[in-house]
Structure formats: C-alpha cells, structure tokens
Structure 1
C-alpha cells in the first residue's frame, strides 16, 4: 500500500534462532499457559531474536555424490542461509577471533531494545564444525558481548540446528527481560536438548572475565580471557586426565579389543578433548568455588558424551554431569569438608552410572573401579581432599587391575564369555587413570 512502511525484518532468514522460540514456547506450554498465550510468547521471542551465520563449505544431501553448493577455497560466506542461500558477502578465510567479530559486529546494531541487559546466546555448529572450534570462537563472542555492556545468560555452544555436513557456525542472540528470562531459564529435558535446574546463579551474570591472555593460534592474544596455563581447577583436572589417558590410548584399545570392538581408548580421548574445551569455555571462577567447578563439569559431561559416542561416552558423560550437579548445589564459602562434598558427588555419580548402564559391581565394568573410589573417599571424608582423593584413586587402581580375574557379565563383552578373563576391564582402567590424574592436580 502506498505510503506504508515495509518492515525489512520480514525478509530476514534465521539460522538457529528458532531454538530460542521453541524453548520459550515449550516452557510456556509446560507451565500451563493457554494456546493464545503460548503463541504470543513465541512471536515475541521471534521478534526479539537476531541471528547471523557463516559457512566455509556446503552440505551434501543424502545419496548425492557432490555438495549441494560450494565456496571458493580459503573463503568464508558471511550471512548465508541454513539451506545454502547466498550470503551477504564472501570474504577470505577468517581466524576464530575474526569470525567472532564478524558475527557480533553484524548483530549488535540490529538487536532490539527493551531487555534488561541479559542476552541469551547460542553459538551453533552447522554439522561439520568441531566442538573445540566452536568453543574457541565463543570465547571471543563472550568478550565482545560483555564489552558492549551485555551479560550472556546461560550461553550454549555446540550443535543444535545443523544442515547435514555443512561447515560453519551461526550466532543467535535474544535480549531478555523478566518474562522471557524466566521462560528461557525454565528446566527442559528432551531427547534433543537438556537444561538442568540449579545450574545458573545470579552472580554468573555480573562476573567479569578473568584476566590474562588467551592465544588464538591464528590471530594472537585475545584480551580478557585466560591463557591455557591459567586454567581453573576443573579444567586443569580434565586436562591432566586427558594427557594421562591419551598416553594409554593404545593400551586401552588393546584391552577393549579382547572382548569388544577396541575403540575405548579412541573414544574416551576424543570425549575428554571435547570435555576440556567445554569446561575451559564454561568455568566461571573463582578458583576454589564448588559452584564454578560444578558448572564446568556439567558442561563437560554433555560435551564428552556427545563427542565420545557409545556406551562408555554416555556413562562418563553422566559421571561428570552428576558430579557437577552436586557441586553446583554447594555455594561458594560454605563451610564443611571438601572431601565430604566430593564423596557426595561420587555417590551421586555411582547412582547415575548404575541407572544409565544397568551394571553392578562385579560385572567387570567401569563401576568396579568407581565403587571402591567412592567408598574410600567417604571413609576419609575428614581428611584433606588431596590426601583422601589420592588414597581413593589408589583403591580404584588396585580394583581396576583385579578385574582381570573377572568374567564379563554386562554388554557385548558378556557374549564372549571367558575370553575376557585374564585381562583388566578397559573402562575400569581408564576411570582409574582419570581419577589418578585428577588427584595429581589436587596435590
């Protein structure tokens, strides 16, 4: 109609921004809102969301021999659509920091007004981008948003809305107010996404980034983040576990191949790499705060399970996540014994692993090493954490070695019968290695 202003936002295409819309609408429906109210809130979340994406390589449709679309070698397509619609411009290959700057620079001027300073953040991999790469980009995104006066709230980084095997990322942002914030904060438990209650504290919104430089291998130091040598405790412990397990990767594979498929070493190392990257991006600090370590372990557990795959990955993911959940319930500065707190976490982890995998002690599985660890830690709950943990890890190591005398009674290995006798269980051994490495960082 003549004289009527055209809203250009109607022609925008979103890349993973519907994640926020579905989360808000689902939370509203779960609390009992009527259909009209759910529709209103979904429309409001959509109106408050802005997204921008970048791709480095196209996707391949199932059955096709060639990608649906392609880019020039060494180039990045900025502003592309999730189905391969052309972007705003093509540029040279960008470093992680440059890519984060491009995403944030295109979004900040477009963000709607009316929020309270918090912003929901989703750094989304499009299918082929490694989790480690996504987390590196998020560091810079977080820094830029805070520099702009925004407070990232419950940020998510990983694969949520993918396009087959497309290489690239997208960044949706949604400014929050009391109404949208409450719905986005609501717990969620679905096959595709889980948001646990009690994993976010008000102080997370106002903390400053820890000082110290982090080096983006391609672009140099990123101001305001931590250097790898300055990792906080949970990240440092996971890094030590990764290094010790990686040194035993071949041996773990050999043990697993006796009565299994031989991929345990490869899978756990891959999962721990993702866990370290996730914890490093998520651990808020300060050092010594159980809530901070718990937040890191919750995120690391999900990343490990996703990257490792298989039954072992799921069990280790549950172990880390359940440990993190217990730690987050202990506010900073609370009195009491750290050893007792971690004994509580070990008990919870044992229950979670047992419920998920169905294994019991004596069936030649990972819980055979976890059970003596938690019992020894509980028995030494009045001692210093480093001392208690070392003794508990030694108990786990002894029992892991003793699983050589057992016959597998759970999973695929059980079908091999006595073939597994005489060899320790790979899962019990890898857990003992992880617990030993963590103990070394406590000392």
Structure 2
C-alpha cells in the first residue's frame, strides 16, 4: 500500500514537484507536466508523451535526449487534461512539428485530440500515434481498440530516436506507427495496487491465484489462474505472444527486443529468474534477442505484477532502439552534449471577467451555490463511486470527480465574486473541472458546462427554456464528443433521460425547479438501471461481464449531481418564499 503522503488529493502535484527537484539535470517544470531542461544545437520534431501519474518512469521519467521532449502528467491514473497537453506541446515545440503519443485510453484520446485540434488551429503541425500493445484488451480483429501498457516505451524510443536523428515529422510519425505495429505485450498480477489514502487495493487476487491480462491503471485481470512457477510464467508469456506475431514478421531468424516490466512491487531477482527462461525459449526457437530490458519500465503504484513486451525489429527499428538516450528513468549509450534550455514561464492566467447583466450575475450566484453543493455531495460519495468503478474499471472515478468538482466550484466562486455572469462562471468552472479532474469524466463535464454556458450567456436573464435548451445541447455535445450512446453503460445512460424529460416538462410550461426535480427522478432511475447492462465502452469494456450487477459510476454521479442541484433550487425557492 502507499504509506507516505500528505493530502491524498495533492499527491500527484507534490510528486511532480519532488521529481523535478530530483531530476533537474533532465527536466524542468512546465504548466501541465515537464519538458526537457536541455536542448540540442539543432531544432527537431518534438515528441510529447503523457498519461496519468502513478506509472513511473512513464511518463516524466522518459523525457530527455533521445526520448521525449515533454510529458503531460495527469493525476493518479487519470489522463492529463487538454489544457495540460496543449501547454506541454507549446513549451516543447521547436518549430518542426509535434508528435503526440500515449496509451490508447478513452480519456487520453479525448484530451489529447482536443489539444491537437487547438494546436493545429494555431498553425502547428501535430500528429498522433496511440500505443495499442496489450493483446488481452481486444481481439486481433480489433487492434485499434487495444490499450497501451509497457509497450509505450518501444514506441516512444523509436520516435524519440528518429527525432534526434533529424527525421521530419512524417518520418517520426511513420516509425512510431511501425514500432506500435510490431509491439505486443501481455501482463499478469498477484495483487492490486492501493492509491494514497485508500483503505483497500483497487482489486484483489485470491491467495494462490494470478490475474491474467491486467491493465496498468488498477484494472483487474481478464482471468484468474493458479500461480505458476517462474518457468511456467515465462512459457505462458511466450506461448501467447508468439501467437500474435505481427504481420510481416517471420519467426525464423527474427530479431526481437524483450522488455520484462515490473509493475511496482515485484523483486528484480524474481524477474531475472523469469527472464532466464524467456531467454532460453527465444534461443530455442531461433529468435535473436537484441538489447533486452528487465526492470520497472511502466509501473502501477504498488501492484505486484509483471508484463512481457516483444518489439519485433527490422533494420530501421533496430538502429533506433540502439540509439543513445538519456532520461531520468531510461538510459542507453552516450548522448551528444546538450546545452541548457530556456526556462519555461509559469502559466499567465487572465483573472478579469467580461461584463454581464445584473440578471445574469444573479443567476451566476445560484450556479456558484449549486456547484459548491455538488462538490460537497461528491466528497461524501467519492469512496462509493470509487468502489463501483473498481468492479470493472480502474477505481479512480470518485477521486477524479472529487478533484474536478472541487476545482470547478472554487473557480465558480472566484468568477462570481469578480462579477461574472452565468456563462463566464460556467466556462471558468468547466475549464477548472476538466483541467483538474482529467480522465474521461473530466473531459465530459467540461463539455457539458461549456455547452450550458454558451446557451445561457452573460447578457440575459437565465430562463427555464434557456436551461433546458442548454442541457439538451450539453447532451448532444457529450454524445458527439465521447461517441457513447444509450445502452453502452456510461454517463450517457443518465444524461439522455434527464435532458429529454427536462425539455418535455419545460416545453409543457412547468417551472425550472419542478421540471428539474422530475427529470432528476428519471435520471436516478436510469442510472440505477445501468446495473443490468454490460459495459461496451471505456476501460470497463475489457471486463464487461464483471460490470453486470453494478451501476455505472458515471451515471450514478451524474444522477447525484442533478439531485443536488434540485435541492439547491428548492432551498432557494423556499428562501425567496419566506422573504416575500
């Protein structure tokens, strides 16, 4: 378990601060993560990587010459926000284009894609290569749905070496895609990991059993088998991975980089015993090992587990794998001397607010009150939301919602106190919620609050009709943004009935408080009904059957928020009635 922490909600921030202090030879802090503290004489394509914290040396530990130029570092097991990715990419860009690369998780895709579009709108040539190495997370026919685990390193190393060698952006993107296409991984675990402040691990493995096909975010395995011997585990790894030889690779005379990765709590000595047999088996099959790695390459806090990655080489990939690299968490050969990079300035935030009408400012005060109540309600529910999420996901939904709702509430209070109108308060809350929460839910709540804000504006009184239309637009934005539909067992299963019922009742002439209350009731029923559904999207997709019987935590948290807002509306109506 994680024992040494202060405030669990500040753990990631304090970890990054300490990492920068310890690794200043390689990295410097930048808004959203870290970038190199040195630079080469010639400008190159910039490789920007990233993901949730809790996986050291991924992702910050892979920033340095011959590897990445910057890493966007999200909260624990949560994707970095689009603002973080944008800020790191801007700081890392050298005018030759930017390649974004990261593990294929829904939240990461949403945030990195949003940052990519923003960067492209500013004229920066940006490409993306997601890592999809985990053979257990989707079948061969759906390679694009697979998640990225320790194979991240193979892709990042090829792209970073290509950038250092002077490849243009087309070339860096090409070799990153090639490395990903030729990388396969398979992982197992003997026990789950425990996040700072948590009372229990995100998942448990029965004594004497081993979870097969685990993820790196605390997701449980796909199956459980008896704990094998070290030799039997090596044989299991290779039997499965050799069934997945990439297209264009012939086993006879093949050259491969094996990466045996400890997930945080497995002794190096144990890994060496396993690797002994891996090396024997590869040799017996006529496969040549090239510069293997055994160690902690992509961890998961204190998870007791191990994964094997195979990078199948061609001449170009072998040259790139062997090229020098020097980063806090990965070193190979000797890189050319570097000079100090310019210091990255802290983010310059504009605290001013646009003008707003008196009626809009009054509505902003109610929005502020509602968001504060929402943050308090989420605080109370965070542990239960995390428990539900751990059944088939990674268990971070409660923590992410807690961080996001509190940041949104604080931003709303500051904006309302400065005289902002309803739109500005909602947009400031959206930015803060998305930025602080990260992950899929952070992105979705940012989209919803922004959509509602655009509809209500800063100039006019906020009417029931405007709110209902704004909620409908928020629903449409979320469904377009995340591609989920009713029945996928996501937050959408609660959003759609809420928005539709609210719209019907307002159109029939009901006031906002009454209509909102009835819609919240429909929302609660729909959220609870997700217990009967099988997850088909997001991290829970790989464990869909396990999700049956437990409601979707995103739907439950959305229903909780609608009920909380209704309570605030009712209390405000009661106060006004007494005053009259």
TM-score (norm 1): 0.49
Structure (1 or 2) with the larger CA radius of gyration? 2
* Higher RCO by CA contacts (8 Å cutoff, separation 6 or greater): 2
